[in-house]
Amino acid sequence: MGEQQHVKFPQEVVDEYAALGVDLPALFSAGHLGNRMGVQIVEASAERVVGTMPVEGNTQPYGLLHGGASAVLAETLGSIGSMLHGGVSKIAVGVDLNCTHHRGARSGLVTGVATPVHRGRSTATYEIVITDEQDKRVCSARLTCMLRDINPQDAGNLPHSGRPNGA
């Protein structure tokens, strides 16, 4: 659950990260929390990030999709878009997330689609629309990330492909 084997990245982005020895699918995955929640990244570019998450296992006591689960999906997708926009010299750090929950979901998968609202030099904002399997909107979210330069201490936290830098 949560493996990112079939993510579609633009080839120029894959090449840019490969030159640094960075494992792109691992870097732009759902992370530990997203993996525990079953988040799957389906497509990823700075223009559009798509991911899914099962409702089962991510519900509140009434059996409905937990609003916090929708927030995790939204922040994951918006962060990936922001990181891809920022490029290899930046990391994206979420500074604002808001979610409006429109309807409940009790089963199946929800799908989130993140698209940019603003892509600047120091911030990126994405709108994330989460829908159920009937294509009904479950949640609307907006995430703003600060884009900051990668520091030397950040490098140890990046997943590497096992290739030396520049290889």
Q: What is the mean pLDDT of residues 59-84?
A: 96
Q: What is the spatial distance between Cα 99 and Cα 13, in angstroms, rounded to a whole number?
A: 29
Mean pLDDT, rounded, of the chain: 86
Q: List pLDDT tens digits, range 99-152.
A: 999 999 999 999 999 999 999 999 999 999 999 999 999 999 999 999 999 877
List, by residue number, the catalytic residues. Answer: 75
Provide DSSP, 32-75: HHHHHTT-EEEEE-SS-EEEEEESTTSB-TTSSBPHHHHHHHHH
How confident is residue 159, by pLDDT bands cut at 50, 70 and 90? low
Handedness of CA 19, 164, 40, 8 (dihedral sign): positive
Q: How confident is the model at residue 35 (pLDDT cuts 50, 70, 90)?
A: confident
- Higher-pLDDT residue of 6, 10: 10
Residue at 74: amino acid letter? A
pLDDT of residue 157: 63
Burial 19-53 (b: 16+ CB within 10 A, else e): ebebbbbebbbbbeebeebbbbbeebebeebbbbb
Q: What integer pLDDT is reported at residue 161 of this predicted model? A: 47
Q: Residue 128 class from Cβ within 10 Å (0-12 exposed, 13-18 middle, 19+ buried)?
A: buried
Look at residue 163 and tell me whether its pLDDT is greater than 80.
no
In this predicted structure, the answer to whether residue 46 has a pLDDT above a threshold of 80 is yes
Q: Which candidate, 4, 81, 92, places its Cα nearest to that of 49?
A: 81
